[in-house]
Amino acid sequence: MKEFNDIVSKTKVSGFETTARNERDNKDWLDLSFELALLILARLKELNWTQIQLAEKLQVSPQYVNKIVKGKENLTLATIAGLEKILTTKLISIEQHPVKSMTAQTSGISIFLGKANYSPVGMETKAEERKDFEFKQNEKNNFADAA
């Protein structure tokens, strides 16, 4: 009878439910990981390499490379940099977009802080649409008023 109660218990979570919750909770990085996986697979095809060859060059197991190309691995920046070096291609780019202005009280400089956007290279915006950090000199030194 205990086995029957375990099967129908509402507190027991199935493997499918655990997987579904994990995918829902990690959707943001899983989406990016999937896009990176597609870029890696395309580059492997261009180079006529197998996953095993990539694993040897990365000095990791073939199973780890398989997780990467399935888009299920949360890659570190070090791993992405290693992949970019070995595959001789950019996989991600970082763009800066001004979102907020603040005044630095000690130097009288207005700084436009940027919000970083991380995206697979294949999804990037045109270069002319990108904006870098801007530094503007205030016309008035903030310390003049404090003295």
Q: Which pLDDT tens digit goes with each residue over 93-142?
A: 887 766 654 444 444 444 444 445 555 665 544 444 444 333 333 334 44
Interior angle at CA 51, CA 46 and CA 54, nearest 5: 80
Task: Kindly list the distances between the CA atom of residue 129 and the CA atoms of 98, 113, 118, in Å, as whole numbers in the listed order.
Answer: 12, 17, 15
Task: Kindly list the distances between the CA atom of residue 119 and the CA atoms of 29, 64, 78, 90, 101, in Å, as whole numbers in the listed order.
Answer: 11, 22, 16, 11, 24
**Residue range 25-51, pLDDT digits in tens:** 888 889 999 999 999 999 999 999 999
pLDDT in the model for residue 28: 86
Q: Flag whether pLDDT at 16 surpasses 50.
A: yes
CA–chain centroid gap for 23, Å, is: 16
